[in-house]
């Protein structure tokens, strides 16, 4: 397996630690004037998303993680897996529930997502930062009420629940920031 | 760096240099220069020197510190001396490290550890005052610092418990490291990080494993007559009551050479001219090296050397 020396450490590098793939978020050289040098890193576990602080003795080697981030088009879900297609190779990949996780709430067919492949299989899915989804259920809109700032829950075609302003209606499409899960605006008419 | 930032950093640097020079002038410490390109490199396995080709002659080495030449001056009869010089260490690049950096190094005859560390802290204090940063000086032993922050005496811990402690603090493969490296990690990660930042700390009496070029304590063989200065959360200076015993010094260098070979590091020959000078007789003295760029960071109140140096290492 390929490896990296600590002097190759930089943010974004994918490494293996205790059997899990990690990405380096931050790398700092720590060295006393007289003494051992260390690389202090923040690394994110690509399976769990947890960020941990670790320190390596400078000069040590670690295994590289076979991890790639690929833009893929979301095709469909078959009740068990979610299917994606690499638009360059037309290769299709099935991601299971663990890999898709909360991203399932924001997946709309034909949207382009970032699929993280680990040893060739989808490990995690990152939906687009903004998606447009249809409201399938919400309380009737209060026409013209754009001023009071009140909110109500709305259920989307994907099953997600978002808080929307009172004036937004069932059947409308809205724009959502998937990073915060918050309503941004009504979708522009296409 | 914008023009106004450039002028600001250049002016501050000039003030730091001028303040340091007047500090030593007031104390009658003589400014000297020694060769930057030496015929030998340091054996310290944690310091990798730059090697410079010299046609068909043996290579020269950019100094990692002016220590050996300055001690040779003392042997030859120089009075109290200081030097402001560039030092060079391979692979030490980061927010607070530059492979080429500026050291203020000085030696005081007949000073003990308390005197040299106090003087160093006072110089730091004066340099910080350039921008009205007024920090108190606090003296604490290495042992007491560990006790205060960790609630235990690192020096009394078994190797096994040091490994456990280091692992708990996030060190990967701690079991492969010797005591000295574990001390380095735990002290920096767990102790220094938790010392109050708005104090100039003199930390004195390091573990004997980290004696480097310091004498061992006369009263406690577990300790070395070594101190460091910390402020703003990082190391500023390192000083010793200087080891004068040529045989012991040679033995320590020999150990370095051994470790280098075990770790597959470049082979470095012992600087025999330095050992010969010690044999001739180094007068009783204490010495210290202060990283000027680090002080500059604190005075300028920035986080990274990139914001300070007009020509940063990564952008030459």
ipTM reported for the complex, 2 dp: 0.86
Q: Across chain B, what does the average pLDDT equal?
A: 95
pLDDT for position A143 = 64
Nearest to B170 among A31, A37, A53 (CB): A53
- CA-atom Rg of chain A in angstroms: 21
Each residue of B161-191: pLDDT tens digit?
A: 999 999 999 999 999 999 999 999 999 999 9
Pick from B46, B304, B312: which is nearest to B184 by CA?
A: B46
pLDDT for position B92 = 87
* Joined tokens for residue A164: 């929307």
pLDDT for position A1 = 59
A173 and A143 Cβ atoms separated by less than 8 Å: no
Each residue of A77-106: pLDDT tens digit?
A: 998 999 999 999 999 999 999 899 889 999
Interface of B with A (CB under 8 A): 44, 46-47, 91-97, 169-173, 176-177, 180-181, 184-185, 188-189, 210, 212, 228, 235, 238, 263, 289, 291
pLDDT for position B91 = 85
b/e string for B88-102 if b means 16 or more Cβ within 10 A? Answer: bbebbbbebbbbbbb
Each residue of B22-43: pLDDT tens digit?
A: 999 999 999 999 999 999 999 9
Task: Tell me how far apart the alpha carbons of residues B126 and B169 are, in angstroms, rounded to a whole number.
Answer: 35
- DSSP secondary structure letters along A150-166: -EEEEEETTS-EEEEET
Regions of chain A short of the pLDDT cut 70: 1, 141-148, 189-190
* Candidates A4, A34, A40, partner chain B, best to mutate (most B CBs within 10 A): A34
pLDDT for position A85 = 96
Each residue of B272-296: pLDDT tens digit?
A: 999 999 999 999 999 999 999 999 9
Nearest to A33 among B93, B177, B289 (CB): B289
* Joined tokens for residue B118: 């106090």
Q: Is the pTM of this model over 0.90?
A: no
Residues of B in contact with A33 (CB under 8 A): 228, 235, 238, 289, 291
Task: Tell me how far apart the alpha carbons of residues A161 and A167 are, in angstroms, rounded to a whole number.
Answer: 16
pLDDT for position A140 = 82
Task: Tell me how far apart the alpha carbons of residues A176 and A184 are, in angstroms, rounded to a whole number.
Answer: 5
* Joined tokens for residue B197: 């930042």
A173 by DSSP, 3-state: which?
A: strand
Eight-state DSSP code of residue A99: H
A90 by DSSP, 3-state: which?
A: coil
Whether B311 shows a pLDDT value over 60: the answer reads yes
CB contact, 8 Å: A32 with chain B?
A: yes
């Amino acid at each position: 397996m390929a490896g990296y020396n600590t002097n190759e450490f930089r943010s974004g590098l994918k490494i293996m630690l205790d059997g899990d793939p990690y990405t380096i978020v931050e790398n700092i050289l720590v060295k006393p004037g007289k003494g051992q040098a260390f690389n202090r890193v923040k690394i994110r576990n690509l399976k769990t998303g947890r960020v941990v602080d670790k320190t390596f003795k400078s000069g040590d080697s670690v295994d590289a993680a076979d991890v790639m981030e690929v833009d893929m088009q979301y095709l469909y879900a078959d009740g068990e897996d979610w299917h994606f297609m690499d638009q360059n190779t037309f290769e299709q990949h099935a991601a299971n529930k663990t890999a898709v996780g909360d991203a399932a709430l924001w997946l709309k067919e034909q949207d382009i997502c970032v699929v993280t492949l680990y040893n060739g299989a989808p490990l995690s899915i990152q939906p687009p930062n903004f998606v447009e989804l249809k409201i399938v259920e919400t309380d009737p809109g209060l026409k013209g009420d754009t001023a009071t700032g009140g909110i109500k829950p709305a259920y989307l075609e994907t099953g997600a629940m978002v808080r929307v302003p009172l004036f937004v209606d069932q059947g409308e499409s809205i724009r959502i920031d998937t990073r915060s899960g918050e309503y941004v605006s009504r979708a522009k008419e296409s | 760096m914008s023009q106004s930032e450039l002028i600001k950093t250049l002016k501050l640097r000039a003030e730091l240099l001028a303040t340091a020079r007047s500090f030593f002038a007031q104390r009658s410490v003589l400014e000297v220069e020694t060769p930057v390109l030496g015929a030998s490199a340091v054996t310290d396995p944690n310091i990798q020197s730059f090697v410079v080709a010299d046609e068909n002659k043996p290579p020269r080495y950019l100094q990692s510190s002016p220590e050996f030449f300055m001690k040779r001056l003392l042997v030859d009869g120089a009075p109290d001396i200081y030097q402001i010089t560039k030092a060079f260490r391979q692979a030490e690049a980061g927010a607070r490290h530059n492979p080429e950096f500026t050291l203020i190094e000085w030696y005081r005859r007949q000073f003990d550890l308390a005197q040299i560390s106090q003087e160093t802290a006072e110089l730091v204090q004066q340099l910080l005052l350039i921008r009205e940063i007024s920090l108190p000086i606090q003296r604490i032993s290495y042992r007491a610092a560990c006790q205060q922050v960790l609630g235990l005496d690192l020096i009394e811990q078994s190797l096994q418990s040091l490994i456990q402690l280091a692992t708990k603090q996030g060190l990967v493969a701690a079991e492969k490291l010797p005591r000295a490296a574990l001390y380095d990690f735990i002290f920096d990660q767990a102790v220094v990080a938790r010392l109050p930042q708005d104090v100039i700390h003199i930390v004195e009496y390091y573990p004997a494993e980290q004696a480097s070029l310091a004498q061992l304590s006369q009263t406690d063989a577990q300790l070395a007559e070594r101190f460091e200065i910390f402020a703003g959360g990082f190391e500023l200076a390192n000083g010793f009551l200087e080891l004068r015993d040529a045989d012991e010094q040679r033995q320590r260098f020999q150990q370095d050479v051994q470790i280098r070979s075990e770790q597959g590091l470049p082979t470095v020959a012992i600087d025999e001219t330095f050992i010969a000078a010690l044999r001739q007789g180094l007068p009783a003295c204490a010495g210290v090296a202060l990283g000027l760029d680090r002080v500059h960071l604190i005075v300028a109140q920035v986080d990274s050397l990139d914001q300070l140096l007009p020509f940063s290492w990564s952008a030459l």
